[in-house]
Amino acid sequence: MQKISEDSYLSEGRAELDNNSRAHTFNGITEAIMKTTITTDNLLERVLESDNLNKAYLQVYRNKGSHGVDEMQVESLKDYLRFHRKVLITELRKGKC
């Protein structure tokens, strides 16, 4: 195995491997992360889309739910969500939940 001297990190920010391929460095990784754009402007709207809400409900139903602090049975959830859907979404948008 090749030894790397203490000051070798100053040379282009890379360490040379035995096979002359270059290793990724912290700088290269952070540059890649900075290039990745994550927009959260419409994240809540995407979460509240009907397809996402339906998928979430089905996942809870298939897992037979887990009683939360409200102790609602999963069998009661569908009717509750149908009746209160608009109010719940409005409160989520306003940050009240």
CB atoms within 10 A of CB 14: 14
Q: What is the DSSP letter of 31?
A: H
Supply the pLDDT for residue 36: 55
pTM tops 0.85, yes or no: no
pLDDT confidence tier of residue 10, bands split at 50, 70 and 90: very low
Cα separation, 97 vs 93, in Å, equals: 9
List the domain boundaries for the chain: 1-37, 43-94
pLDDT beyond 90 at 83:
yes
Supply the pLDDT for residue 53: 94
**Segment 13-24, tens digit of pLDDT:** 445 455 555 555
